[in-house]
């Protein structure tokens, strides 16, 4: 059993999928978000979507940093995490504008004061204002903030997005086919609409990242930050404090900045692609829960995916792997490893999509291809290994 499983987490969410297997999959089984007929407008040429996601256990990292530093601004990053984990899922079905967002925050009032809530709400508003500058309009509908200390040890920051969208502008992944290439968009670096370097960590795998990277002292000082039923051998077993620095080429990175980089949205890039190159996009996958294996859920059954030109993983993933001693198979199954958005397209269209991403300061390249196969399969080739899922 991996450390990830010993900590009570599943990258593939097997039990969740088993519990929901009999629910309707919506209009398009392979679409990244569940799409339904237009119950809101009653127009057969439109669809509705409602999607829920959140910052996950990344909020605990924000909690640790805030308790150590007193810096409330870290919660603005958590607000962005919760929003983007919804927004970039919606991007994968072609939706990028006229979106409603409702926030859901559960807190332990004894540990999380009102000033933290204010920072999260202010951070949400600031993110929406920035996206508005790029023509991406998200209306903040408020939401639910609950004091549930008996349920939540510290704080959980989540949200729900709703949209109504024309059917002819929906991406359903049904066009993914043998012969397609995959353009990958990097989650790390600094986009033109970001204020600082982004490590690419996003908001998945943070249970492993936190426990594998941080020292035992965090568990002793903040027992509310983990499940006390866990075995001692998997709790805060790392070498670092949040204030430690590590070399990264010519740069020095601070551990807290690497682990708390806000989840990058690709919305400004994808808006440009949707409005001017919609027909070049055959499918989209956000490499979130499940990391580089996420695509297996959304590709047709008669193809295999070969990813043999992924980005070199940025430093944050190398540090996590060194600290936790995880093998490559687990790392690529839990983390995005630096490549967070996949665009399935025709080979002739790849270069123009890559060029547009680079105009926004986001690295992009052809990371792989789609081949015909009797068995759905994913093959990942790195410089040192070949992985089959």
Read off the pLDDT of residues 260-270 as tens digits, 9 standing for 90 and up.
999 999 999 99
Q: Domains along the chain?
A: 3-196+260-388 (3.30.1330.10)
CA 116 → CA 107, 119, 156, 206, distances in Å?
Answer: 10, 5, 12, 21
Q: Would you state the structure tokens that stand for residue 120, as one six-digit string?
A: 């999260």
CA 22 to CA 204: how far, in whole Å? Answer: 26
pLDDT in tens, 28-67: 999 999 999 999 999 999 999 999 999 999 999 999 999 9
What are the backbone angles phi and psi of residue 124, rounded to the nearest 5°? -60, -50
Structure confidence at residue 184 (pLDDT): 98
* pTM beyond 0.85, yes or no: yes
- 122-142 average pLDDT score: 98
The 3-state DSSP composition of the chain as helix, strand, coil percent (nearest 5) reads 35, 25, 40
Looking up tokens 């809530």 gives 117
pLDDT in tens, 169-204: 999 999 999 999 999 999 999 999 999 999 999 999
């Amino acid at each position: 059993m991996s450390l990830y499983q010993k900590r009570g987490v599943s990258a593939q969410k097997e039990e969740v999928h088993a519990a929901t297997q009999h629910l309707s999959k919506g209009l398009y089984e392979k679409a990244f978000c569940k799409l339904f007929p237009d119950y809101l407008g009653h127009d057969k040429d439109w669809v509705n979507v409602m999607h829920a996601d959140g910052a996950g256990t990344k909020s605990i990292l924000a909690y640790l940093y805030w308790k150590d530093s007193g810096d409330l601004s870290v919660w603005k990053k958590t607000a962005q995490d919760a929003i983007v984990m919804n927004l970039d899922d919606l991007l994968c079905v072609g939706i990028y504008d006229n979106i409603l967002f409702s926030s859901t925050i559960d807190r332990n009032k004894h540990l999380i004061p009102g000033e933290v809530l204010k920072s999260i709400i202010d951070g949400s508003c600031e993110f929406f204002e920035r996206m508005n500058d790029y023509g991406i309009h998200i209306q903040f509908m408020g939401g639910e903030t609950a004091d549930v200390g008996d349920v939540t040890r510290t704080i959980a920051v989540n949200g729900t997005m709703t949209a109504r969208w024309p059917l002819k502008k929906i991406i359903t992944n049904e066009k993914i086919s043998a012969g397609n290439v995959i353009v990958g968009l990097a989650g790390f670096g600094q986009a033109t609409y970001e204020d600082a370097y982004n490590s690419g960590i996003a908001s998945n795998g943070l249970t492993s990242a936190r426990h594998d990277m941080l020292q035992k002292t965090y568990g002793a000082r903040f027992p509310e930050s983990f499940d006390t039923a866990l075995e001692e051998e998997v709790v805060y077993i790392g070498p670092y404090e949040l204030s430690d620095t590590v070399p990264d080429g010519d740069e020095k990175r601070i551990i807290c900045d690497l682990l708390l980089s806000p989840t990058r949205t690709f919305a400004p890039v994808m808006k440009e692609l949707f409005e001017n190159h919609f027909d070049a996009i055959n499918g989209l996958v956000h490499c979130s829960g499940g990391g580089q294996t996420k695509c297996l859920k959304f590709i047709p059954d008669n193809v295999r995916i070969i990813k043999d030109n992924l980005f070199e993983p940025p430093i944050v993933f190398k540090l996590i792997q060194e600290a936790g001693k995880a093998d490559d198979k687990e790392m690529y199954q839990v983390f995005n490893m630096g490549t967070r958005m996949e665009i399935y397209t025709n080979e002739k269209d790849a270069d123009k999509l890559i060029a547009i991403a680079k105009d926004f300061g986001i690295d992009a390249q052809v990371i792989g291809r789609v081949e015909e196969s009797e068995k759905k399969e994913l093959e990942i080739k790195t410089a040192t290994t070949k992985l089959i899922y």
